[in-house]
Amino acid sequence: MAGFLIKRVLQAVFVVFVVTLTVSFAIRLTGDPALMLAQGAGSVTEEDLARIREALGLNQPFMTQYFAFIKGLFTFDFGRSFMGGTPVSQLIAAALPATMMLAFASLIVSIIISIPLGIKAAVARGKWADQAIRILSLVGLSFPNFWLAIMLVLLFSITLKWLPPSGMDGFASFIMPAVTMGIILTATNVRLVRTAMLETLQSQYIMVARAKGLSESKVLYKHALRNCAIPLITYFGLQFGGLLGGIVVVERVFNWPGMGTLAFDAVGARDYPVLQAVITVLSLMIVGVNLIVDIAYGLVDPRIRTE
């Protein structure tokens, strides 16, 4: 078991190293932050740009800058933003809770919709209800999230004026962003729940439960759903990690003050420290969730440890 844990941890560390190195190199191909800072300052000489680069530490070799970033990672010190001089750790601390709350709300919306629909599709296998739910899930999977977000804003904010179009201010502001992401997730989750329930409903203990005269709802939700919950919970947990990294577009459409908006603004401003920190923190969380799932599987199933 110790060897299994060490192997998984080393794999996670390697993934984070590759991601941070790639991001650090790629963002430096987008342009010179010194030019962005010098805009609007009138005539700027090459000496002025050199002084700006020196003040930002951009005159140092790439690997020196990268290892300085990695060193700060262990103390949650990502340096200061090029644009405002604010410590990047403060920006991350302010944006991360907003992204996590939105991701959690989106996952809850998806679970509330997908579990009943998936169970209904499994019970009505081959019938019109099953076909309709599967078609709807396919249509939902085809929606680009930014298009769905814009359509919701046009309908509920501009036309009906029921919900705020942007920002994070109270419960109402969560509804459209969470529904947007929730519908996209539901398209996949319905099929997962349907498949898991189909296998479970063919088990002998389900037939015994029905033979005892238990109500259909008790058979489905108390016995069948509980026994196929482990793979569902695992997949939902992995989805939460993926949501943290894939919520950028939705946050931008709704002007949500989260990690996605922070990263988008950093790209436009060529703010290296902010963008590196955002991607690194999200990568750590995604890798962390996957590592926890791997370890949990290894604890439950010895065959995985052997492989």
- Mind listing the pLDDT tens digit for each residue in 131-162? 898 888 888 777 788 888 899 999 999 998 89
Nearest 10 degrees: Cα torsion 63, 67, 73, 75 = -150
Write down all domains in the chain, each with its CATH number in brackets: 89-269 (1.10.3720.10)
Give the tens place of pLDDT for each residue, 83-108: 778 899 999 998 989 988 998 899 89
Residue (of 150, 136, 103) closest to 286 by Cα position:
103
Higher pLDDT, 41 or 165: 165
Q: 174: Cβ–Cβ under 8 A, 6 or more apart, which residues? A: 101, 102, 105, 168
Distance between CA atoms of 159 and 222, rounded to whole angstroms? 42
Give the tens place of pLDDT for each residue, 198-245: 888 887 888 888 888 878 788 887 778 877 777 777 777 777 776 776
Q: Cα dist. 167→93, 163, 250 in Å? A: 18, 11, 12
β-bridge mates for residue 80, sequence order: 87
- Cβ atoms 251, 102 nearer than 8 A: yes
pLDDT score for 154: 93
pLDDT score for 301: 54
DSSP reduced 3-state for 19: helix
Average pLDDT over residues 56-81: 86
pTM of this structure: 0.80
Question: Tokens representing 141?
Answer: 């999977």
Task: For CA atoms 35, 38, 42, 44, give the dihedral sign.
Answer: negative
